[in-house]
Amino acid sequence: MDGEVAVVTGGTAGIGFETARVLLSAGARVVVCGRNPERGRHAVEQLRTVGDVLFIPADVSDENSVSGLFAEVRSRCGPVSVLVNNAGPTDLLHSRDVDGPLGAVRPTAFATLMERTVTSSYLPTREALTDMLGARAGSIVMISSMAAAQAMPGFDTYATGKGAIESMTRAIAGSYGHLNIRCNAIRVGRIAVDHGGGLRAAADPVEEDHEAWRGPVLPKAGAPEDVAHAVLYLSSAAGRYVNGVVLPVDGGVGSRSLMPWQTPRPEMLDGRVAALRGD
């Protein structure tokens, strides 16, 4: 990633912070943005030991703020060649009183969540495309969620927004791919992140019922760096032939059986596997 200028939105904690760290380790010059200057300064203090990093405060759901962000990036670092749209409405979702079943979501809350989910990816992408068109090269990575593909009751607006993000990914890839500008998304599963400052103490494994598998067993939660390394692949020359793809980084959640009562796990079969094989 030597010579690349990467912008990571929401890059001061969690997945964004680890993404910035991994891109820095690969040689990119990284700009992280966020709405909290204090958190931004703290993140940069940690990331400076890895590489050339800069924090610029910005609200990526606000057009003027995004325009100012990219103007400063260009003046201090040069044209943007990599954009990671990581910022999202996680803080709002944790409140549990903004999203919900769609019929119960207030119009103002719906608009706010869509701004923080969809508009916050659209505005930085529009700015970054200006630089990428001039260079006839660039990579955009969207951070989506398993909510875009599997129902998550109680998060109807969030799921709607993430579905839009994946559609936007394919649209950009189709419109700009011939200009060597790629756009891909990562569909994130359960990631053990404390948005106040890092990984939770444990990867909160889900207890399994070995006697009667009445429901699909979830994998242990992943770590932010699991997503960050996927971002590095999609951002770098290693992923140069990948465009318009939604890559699940979910520990296999998307591969769970829809009929778990009919599909026992191999370790539950005891000696039947050997008998079936004729051993």
Q: In what helix (H) or strand (E) does residue 126 lie, and over which residues does it extend?
A: helix 120-135
Superfamily, domain 5-209+219-258: NAD(P)-binding Rossmann-like Domain (3.40.50.720)
Say if CB 189 and CB 251 are below 8 A apart: yes
Q: pLDDT tens for residues 67-76?
A: 999 999 999 9
Joined together, the tokens standing for residue 187 give: 């569909």
Token pair listed for 161: 């927004």
Q: What is the distance between the alpha carbons of residues 178 and 196, in angstroms, rounded to a whole number?
A: 41
Looking at residue 206, its pLDDT comes to 44
Mean pLDDT (whole number) for 27-35: 97
Q: 207 pLDDT exceeds 60?
A: no
pLDDT value of position 231:
98
**What mean pLDDT do residues 83-99 have?**
84
Q: Describe the strand order of the beta sheet including 181-188 as a list of residue ranges.
A: 53-57, 29-34, 5-9, 82-85, 138-145, 181-188, 246-249
d(CA 97, CA 105): 9
In this predicted structure, what is the pLDDT of residue 9?
Answer: 98
Count, residues in the chain = 279
What is the secondary structure of 37-101 as a DSSP string?
Answer: HHHHHHHHHHHTTTS-EEEEE--TTSHHHHHHHHHHHHHHT-S--EEEE----HHHHHHSSS--S
Phi, psi of 110 (to 5 degrees): -60, -45
- Judge whether residue 201 has pLDDT over 90: no
Contact 65, 44 (CB under 8 A): no
Domains of the chain by residue range: 5-209+219-258
The predicted model scores a pTM of: 0.86
Instruction: Write the burial class of residue 38 (CB in 10 Å: 0-12 exposed, 13-18 middle, 19+ buried).
Output: exposed
Q: What is the CB neighbour count within 10 angstroms for residue 44? A: 17
> Is the pLDDT reported for residue 112 higher than 90?
yes
pLDDT band at 253 (very low <50, low <70, confident <90, very high): confident
Percent of the chain scoring above 90 in pLDDT? 68
**Which range has the top average pLDDT, 22-36, 143-157, 243-257?**
22-36
240: tokens are: 């140069």
- Whether 118 has a pLDDT exceeding 70, the answer reads yes
Give the strand pairing for 82-85 and 246-249: unpaired
Say how many C-beta atoms besides its own lie within 10 A of residue 194's C-beta.
11
